[in-house]
Amino acid sequence: MRCSCCQKELIRNLTLRELFCSASLRCYHCEEQFTKIDHATACVGCGRKNSVKLCRDCRKWQQTSGFVLNNKSLYQYDEGFRKWIEAYKFTGDYRLRGAFATELKQALRMYRGYLICPLPLSKERFKQRGFNQVSACLALTKVPFEMLLQRKELSPQSEKTREERLLMAQPFKLNVESEKIRNQRVLLIDDVYTTGRTLFHGAELLYKNGAETVKSLTFAR
């Protein structure tokens, strides 16, 4: 059996439990690679570590958008996570998708009854990468999910600087009939929570179409 992260052969003896949930097993080295965020002491709005009160960014979101996302993030965006996401997402090593499937599956248990929706890539990005890096991780958990959103097609010159992207108008449209969303609870999933802007765009669109609650979960923050 191989490490789901670095793909090296695992040499330790496996416990029974590990054998039965073999979707995600990491070697000792990779086990140390990710640093969990303690949700008990994280910002309830964005999942930022060590922020017992709603953080300043979230208070700003609350003013401008009228809601917070109750985002939770599994790991800190540190050197270990950066290495993983570079190899997986940017180099495109699809085999690394199972790095934390067990932890992801466990986190999803808190969202029973929610429609689970990974953020979509643009068609172009999908073609380049060959896979949606969020859906690929989710698929291993066997938890059903659905692409409720799709990216609007943009002209190439609209891919601009970060500032411009932050100001960019709604990048999503619904990929399903709005009845599917109405009065539903939705969990948006993305790989990294940076400014929250993209997730807020997704949530705003879902609320506009009658969603009851929208929360988010990301792999890192």
Beta strands in the chain (DSSP E): 72-75, 115-118, 149-151, 172-174, 185-192, 213-220
Strands 149-151 and 172-174: antiparallel
Q: Quick one: which segment of 50-58, 130-138, 154-162, 195-203 binds Zn ion (CB under 5 A)?
A: 50-58
DSSP symbol at 14: P
Question: Quick one: 86 or 124, whose CB is closer to Zn ion?
Answer: 86
CB of 148 to Zn ion, least distance (A): 24
CB of 56 to Zn ion, least distance (A): 8
Which member of 24, 25, 27, 186 binds Zn ion (CB under 5 A)?
27
Q: Is 45 in the site for Zn ion (CB under 5 A)?
A: yes
Q: Is 119 in the site for Zn ion (CB under 5 A)?
A: no
Q: How many CB atoms lie within 10 A of CB 32?
A: 10
Q: Is 99 in the site for Zn ion (CB under 5 A)?
A: no
The closest alpha carbon to 167, from 189, 195, 188, belongs to 195
Which member of 25, 37, 43, 117 binds Zn ion (CB under 5 A)?
43
Q: Is 58 in the site for Zn ion (CB under 5 A)?
A: yes
Residue type, 155: S
Question: Quick one: 80 or 126, whose CB is closer to Zn ion?
Answer: 80
Distances (CA, A) of 76 to 19, 136, 219: 28, 20, 8
Contact 162, 218 (CB under 8 A): no
CA distance 181 to 146: 11
Q: Is 55 in the site for Zn ion (CB under 5 A)?
A: yes
Q: Is 196 in the site for Zn ion (CB under 5 A)?
A: no
Which member of 5, 99, 101, 108 binds Zn ion (CB under 5 A)?
5
Interface with Zn ion (CB under 5 A): 3, 5-6, 27, 30, 43, 45-46, 48, 55, 58
